[in-house]
């Protein structure tokens, strides 16, 4: 006969292992990357932390692309204990500027509405519909100030 203590420890181990495997899953759904799609890297936020209601520049590098980039998508999740708040937006890319400058850095903007830790994901698509890899970044957001609010954090001078 198996004692209650052993049974309880076995159930605890099963529940913990189930929790650990789900904790590793992505927090938002993004498209599956294409085998020969564009590649992006170096996701960063400017400034690297902000306050609720203040805009943040989302910057990342275009490493390889055989065709013009036609869209960029940002998705985020802000966790509240066991629940979460999700969002998604398409970056307004200035395609003519990207083509003319042959820029390797792409940029969008994001304004978090509430305080907390945001897990932010970025992905791009080229003209043939090939999808890039997914980048993930973490953005800490402080509470909004009561009136009158001081100005939003400025861009770091070394960028």
pLDDT at 21 over 90: no
- pLDDT, averaged across the chain: 78
* DSSP-derived secondary structure letter, 131: B
Q: Predicted confidence band at 84 (pLDDT cuts at 50, 70, 90)?
A: confident
Question: Could you give the number of structural domains in the chain?
Answer: 1
pLDDT at 25 over 70: no
Residue 65 lies in a domain: yes
Average pLDDT over residues 3-26: 49
The total number of residues written for the chain in this structure: 159
Residue 68 lies in a domain: yes
Residue 4 lies in a domain: no
3-state secondary structure of 141: strand
The Cα–Cα gap between 140 and 49 comes to: 5
33-71, pLDDT tens digit by residue?
999 999 999 999 999 989 998 999 999 998 877 788 888
pLDDT at 101 over 70: no
Residue 62 lies in a domain: yes
Percent of the chain's residues with pLDDT above 90: 38
The answer to which of 4-13, 74-83, 113-122, 147-156 has the lowest mean pLDDT is 4-13
Residue 13 lies in a domain: no
Residue 19 lies in a domain: no
Q: Predicted confidence band at 99 (pLDDT cuts at 50, 70, 90)?
A: low
**Which distant-in-sequence residues (6+ apart) come within 8 Å of 45 by Cβ?**
56, 57, 58, 59, 110, 120, 137, 139
Average pLDDT over residues 83-87: 87
19, 58, 82, 51: which is closest to 136 by C-alpha? 58
CATH number for position 105? 2.60.40.10
pLDDT of amino acid 9: 54
The Cα–Cα gap between 21 and 17 comes to: 6
Range of the domain at 71: 34-142
């Amino acid at each position: 006969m198996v004692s209650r203590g052993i049974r309880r420890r076995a159930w605890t181990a099963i529940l913990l292992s189930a929790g650990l495997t789900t904790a590793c899953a992505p927090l938002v759904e993004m498209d599956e990357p294409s085998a020969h799609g564009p590649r992006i890297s170096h996701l960063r936020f400017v400034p690297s932390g902000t306050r609720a209601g203040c805009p943040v520049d989302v910057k990342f590098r275009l490493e390889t692309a055989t065709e013009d980039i036609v869209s960029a998508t940002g998705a985020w999740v802000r966790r509240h204990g066991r629940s979460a708040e999700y969002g998604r937006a398409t970056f307004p890319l200035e395609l003519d500027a990207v083509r003319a400058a042959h820029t390797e850095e792409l940029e969008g903007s994001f304004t978090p509405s509430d305080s907390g830790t945001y897990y932010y994901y970025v992905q791009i698509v080229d003209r043939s519909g090939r999808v890039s890899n997914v980048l993930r970044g973490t953005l800490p957001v402080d509470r909004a100030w009561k009136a009158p609010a001081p100005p939003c954090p400025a861009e770091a001078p070394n960028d």
